Amino acid sequence: MNIYQRINHLLDVPSTDPEDARRRKLLNIILSVFIVLGILLTLYLVWSFFTTSRAVWNKGAGSLFGATVGLLAFSILLFVLNRYLHGWVTSGLFLILLTIGITLGDDPIQLVAGRSVFLFVMPIILAGVLMPSWATIVAAALDIAIMAYLAAQLHDPNIVMTPTYLGLAFIVLLAWLSSRSVEVSLRDLRKLNRELDQRVAQRTKELADALSRERIESGRTKAILDSIADGVIVFDLDGKSIIANPSLLHLLDMQYGEVINTSIKNLSQSKFLDTFNRGLLNNILSNPSAKASNYHIQWGKKDISVTCAPVLDRDGDPIGTVAVFRDYTHEAEVEKMKTTFLAIVSHELRTPLNAIMGYAEMLKEAVYGPVNDKQGRASERIMTNSHRLLDIVSDLLDKAQMEAGKLSLHLQSFRPADLVENVHSVMDKIAADKNLSLTSELDPNLPEFLVGDIARLQQILVNLITNSVKFTEKGSVHMCISKTDPDHWLLRITDTGIGISDEDLPTIFEAFHQVDSTTTRKHGGFGLGLSIVKQLAELMEGDVSVESKLGVGSNFSVLLPLIKAKRSES
């Protein structure tokens, strides 16, 4: 604590009212000046008492010494009282004592009309400084009363007090005005201060509330993230990871430090990924899609599905990316088992069916001697039904392979004319069995050679024609293959069948659609044919559509991208 702080500390007054504290401190300063002056004067008088002659000293130095000691004593007393009493009390007391001191300090003539008139100004100004503004008026009234009294005691007709009173009144006015203006500005300041304080307090409270809400919210979010089994990672707009949950670390076999604060590029370069999966993961995370899309990556020995979506703020602006990693190793195994199972089952089903068909055909062909008509027809029924069963098994296997994503296209160049011919060779007999004609039309504008999977294209046409034949009792089924524009070609099957109602149209391409309706019993089939057509068309990046009118017929179209063969094959 330096000397300035020490003095400041000594002068400070314990008061809760800042205005009172200010006044009392001011009084302390004035009293300190008085005390210092008193001490110096006392020392001087003591010194002069011993150095000057007694004659000079007696001439009033004794009374000056008494006054000085009195002043010193009162100043110290007031200084002490100022610590404990209200400012007004000590200040009032001080002003009264000051006024008494002034009154007794000089001759009455000097006080009212001579050299020390101005001394009466002191208590007035001090009143304005130490006490509320009205105190200046009280002090002035007291001074004027004393001066009037003293003037009256002098009985001197030469003394005219009016100019003195007017002067005093003017000083009072100035003192009152300055005191008042300080008071008013201080009050305004304090009011402003109070409002500011209130506002700060309110804001602080709001901030604290928001912070605690935020803390609760983020705590809850963290708890959720920590407890879900899927791995979650969040990247900011710069592609830097800012959040990663424990499941992610477990899933990726990585430490928190390796995953957090890292870039998409870095994460995609993990040692657990091969070159293909590195590129794939980088692509997935760099292009978040609002549509939920699942990608499968191989992370070490694990099969992981990744879904990536943009994080949007309230205005819908992207503020980052969130990716969810899910371990589907087990599901992948199950999926694989399912495919294997289906392959085995379909093989196991097909082999005895082949045998049944073979034996039935041998009977019908009279390999073991002649059969009568009924026996022949029975053999034929066995063959037909075995064929149907075989088709169902094939459809089921195709469907399962498509769903497992295992079905791939075998692209090769082929002649559209061959496609038409192949379809005829399979379907002509089936149509003829129902007394229907199967006609076809090949657009001459089509290139002689196209690129595609001819077996799957044939499957599309066979399925569509089978469907049309199934629902057509009389008339025809027409197959048209044409070029619609330089980039597309169209397969269209038109029939004169029973048609499809408007409410059934949207679901016609769904798997097992037919199973739900009563048509199965009448028309047979499994309801898989059209759904396979749709899936095959989608695999070929094409599109299926249907138009139909009840009782008139249906029109199935498959629009496919046209890929011309680079070289024509002989």
Can you give the binding site for other proteins, defined by CB under 8 A?
347, 350-355, 357-359, 361-362, 365, 367, 390, 410, 455
Rank residues 50 and 368 by Cβ distance to other proteins and give the closer one. Answer: 368
3 state SS of 324: strand
For residues 150 and 112, the answer to whether their CB atoms sit within 8 Å is yes
Rank residues 267 and 342 by Cβ distance to other proteins and give the closer one. Answer: 342
Starting at the edge strand that comes first in sequence, how are the strands of the sheet with 302-312 ordered?
241-244, 231-236, 318-327, 302-312, 294-299
Rank residues 350 and 492 by Cβ distance to other proteins and give the closer one. Answer: 350
Other beta carbons less than 10 A from residue 244's beta carbon: 24
Task: Work out how close the CB of 540 gets to other proteins at its nearest, in angstroms, rounded to a whole number.
Answer: 17
Q: Is 95 exposed, middle or buried (0-12, 13-18, 19+ CB in 10 A)?
A: buried
Task: Work out how close the CB of 567 gets to other proteins at its nearest, in angstroms, rounded to a whole number.
Answer: 19
Task: Work out how close the CB of 340 gets to other proteins at its nearest, in angstroms, rounded to a whole number.
Answer: 15
N residues, the chain: 570
Q: Give dist(CA 238, CA 510) in Å, integer.
A: 43
User: What is the token pair recorded at 380?
Assistant: 């034929």
Task: Work out how close the CB of 358 gets to other proteins at its nearest, in angstroms, rounded to a whole number.
Answer: 4
272 φ, ψ to 5°?
A: -80, -10
Supply the DSSP symbol for 564: B
Task: Work out how close the CB of 361 gets to other proteins at its nearest, in angstroms, rounded to a whole number.
Answer: 4
Amino acid making up residue 358: G
Task: Work out how close the CB of 419 gets to other proteins at its nearest, in angstroms, rounded to a whole number.
Answer: 15
Rank residues 350 and 488 by Cβ distance to other proteins and give the closer one. Answer: 350
Rank residues 314 and 410 by Cβ distance to other proteins and give the closer one. Answer: 410
Task: Work out how close the CB of 477 gets to other proteins at its nearest, in angstroms, rounded to a whole number.
Answer: 24
Task: Work out how close the CB of 385 gets to other proteins at its nearest, in angstroms, rounded to a whole number.
Answer: 13
Q: Is 131 exposed, middle or buried (0-12, 13-18, 19+ CB in 10 A)?
A: buried
Rank residues 61 and 390 by Cβ distance to other proteins and give the closer one. Answer: 390
Nearest C-alpha neighbor of 560 from the set 546, 547, 544, 548: 544
Rank residues 88 and 359 by Cβ distance to other proteins and give the closer one. Answer: 359
Rank residues 239 and 376 by Cβ distance to other proteins and give the closer one. Answer: 376
Q: Chain-centre distance of CA 533, in angstroms?
A: 44
Amino acid making up residue 374: K
For residues 452 and 540, the answer to whether their CB atoms sit within 8 Å is yes
